[in-house]
Amino acid sequence: MKTLKTRDIIALGFMTFALFLGAGNIIFPPSVGLAAGEFQWSAALGFLLTAVGLPLLGVIALARVGGGLDTLTHPIGKLAGTLMGLAIYLTIGPFFATPRTATVSFEVGMAPFTGNTPEALLIFTIGYFLLVMVLALFPGKLMDNIGKIITPALIAVLAILGIAAFVAPAGDIAAPAAAYDAAGKALAQGFLMGYQTMDALASLVFGILIVASIKAAGVTDTRLHTRYTIYAGIIAALGLGLVYVSLIYLGAMSGTTVPADASGVQILTLYVERTFGTSGIVLLAAVILLACLTTGVGLVSACSAYFSQLLGVKYRTVVVVMSVFCAAVANQGLAQLIAVAVPVLVLIYPVAIALIALGLLSKLWRHKARVFIPAMSTALVFGLIDGAKAAGLNVPEVFASLPGSEVGLGWLVPVLVVMVVAGVLDRVRAIPAKA
């Protein structure tokens, strides 16, 4: 029976780390640290919960059910599961996350040299997604191309930046922003900012790529698939945690050197230029390009595999169409992509979190549909309300009185209550006979 050697497991973990480490993972932690000021560690905890904890749990949930997203959503029915799959794949794929990998790469890595012009962005995105397309056409080689070649170089550069953040801070902590001016508020805001990485959603997709890489290495035992997937998730989570902590600290210690409303891109660029000079800008460009490229390849591969199966179209055809579409969306610019994504993420994240929790606890349910359907329906209703609020629409005042609603977590208590009640009722009721 074929097994993976230790070095292969580490390479698999590196590949998983690189798949997750994309645009949002680089640009949002510094802005969280800057805004949180003295409450940076509370904000860091919240950020780690959604940007590290949830992705790890998502990978484990998929590994435990032994399948992809369709297996995890099976209890809510084929139609509802397909709709949720579409929402997740479109969000992390062609509509938001994948185009964002190109725009962040451009603004941090290329704009300082070429100027932030539409023409330069167009040329860059064409070249970027041409490279993504070529790499995504061979998904079975992901572990070799990313885990053993690209990721070690990425980790080396990130280590230099992370160590520098602690050894040579840019300045000192400034007063926290109003939304972060208490430990509890900073924790909640960090939790919500973790949504922007989209990694909890990506975890429900990347599990398929991880298992495909394991199979490509010749491992056929499904129990080993589960075990190695969990190992890879843990390695990736440790790496992401170290990156986030260092970047949040970097942002917090830049409070006296950058404007209070500086973006993560601006914070990183100013810090690196101040600390390393022109060579630092090149270093940062390398970090961003490698991080975004690996994530872009992973997302295009996973989304293409999903839509290929769903639509009955050849995988390579979907890769080409997906790459072209993402290049077109990327030319809307980074600020526009972030602004439009916020309401969508606030809407979909409660449903995704509920799905991950239900999947992890699936062995507790006698008849899964009796718990999955009411809990996820509740998450969807409150997600729609929070999404409408994030989009600037008026919502009934009654929802504003729910615990956590002032920081976008009004869905949490209702979903927990419904899950517990449905779980208890499921345990005391008979299992329905199969038709």
Exposure of 67 by Cβ count < 10 A (0-12 exposed, 13-18 middle, 19+ buried)?
Answer: middle
> How many of the other CB atoms lie within 10 Å of CB of 71?
14
Same domain, yes or no: 357 and 307 = no
Same domain, yes or no: 15 and 97 = yes
Same domain, yes or no: 229 and 289 = yes
Same domain, yes or no: 48 and 127 = yes
Same domain, yes or no: 290 and 246 = yes
Domain that holds residue 382: 343-434
Q: Residue 273 is which amino acid? A: E
- pLDDT, tens digit (0-9, with 9 covering 90-100), for 361-418: 988 998 999 999 999 999 999 999 888 888 888 888 777 778 877 767 889 999 999 9
Same domain, yes or no: 380 and 326 = no
pLDDT at 435: 42
Q: Decide if 64 is inside a domain.
A: yes
Nearest to 199 by CA among 303, 331, 299: 299
- Neighbour-count burial for 256-268, b at 16+ CB within 10 Å, e otherwise: ebbeeebbbbbbb
Q: Decide if 100 is inside a domain.
A: yes
Q: Domain with 93 in it: what CATH number?
A: 1.20.1740.10
Q: Answer whether 37's CB lies under 8 Å from 256's CB.
A: no
CA pair distance 388, 116, nearest whole angstrom: 32
Same domain, yes or no: 320 and 348 = no
Q: Decide if 1 is inside a domain.
A: no
Same domain, yes or no: 99 and 214 = yes
CA pair distance 261, 42, nearest whole angstrom: 20
Decide which of 331, 358, 389 is a domain's last residue: 331
Q: Decide if 337 is inside a domain.
A: no
Q: Decide if 299 is inside a domain.
A: yes
CA pair distance 374, 417, nearest whole angstrom: 11
Decide which of 331, 365, 393 is a domain's last residue: 331
Q: Number of structural domains, the chain?
A: 2
Q: Decide if 338 is inside a domain.
A: no
Structure tokens at 52: 């590290």
Decide which of 331, 354, 382 is a domain's last residue: 331
Q: Decide if 364 is inside a domain.
A: yes
Structure tokens at 207: 């599990």
Q: Answer whether 249's CB lies under 8 Å from 30's CB.
A: no
Could you write out the DSSP letters of every residue in 264-290? HHHHHHHHHHHHHTHHHHHHHHHHHHH
Exposure of 79 by Cβ count < 10 A (0-12 exposed, 13-18 middle, 19+ buried)?
Answer: exposed
- Can you list the residues of the chain whose pLDDT is less than 50? 435
Same domain, yes or no: 177 and 308 = yes
Could you write out the DSSP letters of every residue in 121-162? HHHHHHHHHHHHHHHHT-GGGHIIIIIIIIHHHHHHHHHHHH
pLDDT at 210: 85
Q: Decide if 399 is inside a domain.
A: yes
- Neighbour-count burial for 183-200, b at 16+ CB within 10 Å, e otherwise: eebbbbbbbbbbbbbbbb
- Neighbour-count burial for 271-310, b at 16+ CB within 10 Å, e otherwise: bbeebbeeebbebbbebbbbbbbbbbbbbbbbbbbbbbee
Nearest to 417 by CA among 389, 386, 382: 382
Same domain, yes or no: 197 and 299 = yes
Same domain, yes or no: 224 and 362 = no
Same domain, yes or no: 155 and 107 = yes
